[in-house]
Amino acid sequence: MLKKFLPNQYVKNIFQIHPEALREKGVKGIITDLDNTLVEWDRPNATPKLIEWFANMEKNDIKITIVSNNNDTRVKNFSEPLGIPFISRARKPLTRAFHDAVKQMELKKEETVIIGDQLLTDIFGGNRGGFYTILVIPVAQSDGFATRFNRMIERRLMAFFNRKGLIQWEDER
């Protein structure tokens, strides 16, 4: 059961995920979380570096959909100026939003990766749905109220995985 919380891959940030490496794995699409994965949870817009990352993925024919548990206004205001499709109020770790995103991108789940900063929502949901999952270190050192409880549980899970040699992780908080 605990293996469902273990990501397939982990990186420090989204910028360590390169289109060439994804294409080598047969990946044609990314489903990514928004808050603390792409930008801080309280940052309204994409940074220039993130905009460049999105453009590089698009140039390499990798589709992106943002899937967030946040409200429609937050996700829409971030995604629409970038022209990136999104699903808000996703109710992760339930898997329906992930499967809806794959359909919208007209891909198969085997061609898609899930990227997120939370074990209990992004990684658990992605693994339950049969996706390849990539965990990133949260970009902000603070979280919204609802996420703080999850982080406490995640720290225990990460310590367990580290003790078992399943993951080496340096929490930069």
Tens-digit pLDDT profile for residues 22-62: 999 999 999 999 999 999 988 889 999 999 999 999 999 99
Tokens of 97: 């939003």
Which of these ranges, 56-60, 69-73, 98-102, 139-143, has the smallest mean pLDDT?
A: 139-143
Residue 125 belongs to some domain of the structure: yes
Structural domains in the chain (count)? 1
Residue 169 belongs to some domain of the structure: no
142: confidence class by pLDDT, cuts 50, 70, 90: low
Decide if pLDDT at 173 tops 80: no
Q: Are 134 and 10 in contact (CB under 8 A)?
A: yes
Residue 173 belongs to some domain of the structure: no
Residue 16 belongs to some domain of the structure: yes
CATH code of 99's domain: 3.40.50.1000
CA 140 to chain centre: 14
34 vs 149 pLDDT, higher one: 34
Residue 58 belongs to some domain of the structure: yes
Q: Whole-model pTM above 0.95?
A: no
Q: Which domain holds residue 66?
A: 2-163
Q: Which pLDDT does position 146 carry in this prediction?
A: 66
Residue 71 belongs to some domain of the structure: yes
Residue 127 belongs to some domain of the structure: yes
Residue 172 belongs to some domain of the structure: no
